[in-house]
Amino acid sequence: MIDFVRNVQLWFAPQEISEEGRTPDYRFSLANERTFLAWLRTALALIGGGFAVDQFLPHLRWAWRAGLALALLAAGVLCSLRAVNHWVRCERAMRRGEDLPVSRFPALLSIAVAIVAVAMVVVVIAGWAG
């Protein structure tokens, strides 16, 4: 828990990361930043998908529309927060010469997106049948 709190502090003071360990090859730091930006693009896509479901499916029952939209929006929020936390954790690990941190988040995000996709398939099929 203490390490998590320290990571959150570093979200807002990234210059303090340079006080830990040695400076890694800049290519690794830049690759870590590109990964961070890819996570942010994923978060933006999920958020955009949530708004699209809410705005462009007005004939869908409100509970379905709200549930699917909120699931996508929540996944986008979690993805954006996870992006910055993962960036800090990786940067600290590289500076310390440690293994990069592992995460279950990609698997959880994939499962959440798959569940929403299956729900969308059900909605589309039910819409065609009805």
Distance CA(57)–CA(64), nearest Å, equals 10
pLDDT band at 24 (very low <50, low <70, confident <90, very high): very high
| Of 126, 123, 101, 97, nearest in space to 35 by CA | 101
Structure confidence at residue 124 (pLDDT): 81
Residue for token pair 């830049």: 30
pLDDT band at 61 (very low <50, low <70, confident <90, very high): confident
Give domain limits for the chain: 28-129
For CA atoms 11, 15, 21, 22, the dihedral sign is: positive
Query: Which amino acid, residue 117?
Result: A
Average pLDDT, integer, range 99-109: 93
Q: Give the predicted TM-score (pTM) of the model.
A: 0.85
CB-based contact 120:77 (threshold 8 Å) = no
CB-based contact 77:85 (threshold 8 Å) = no
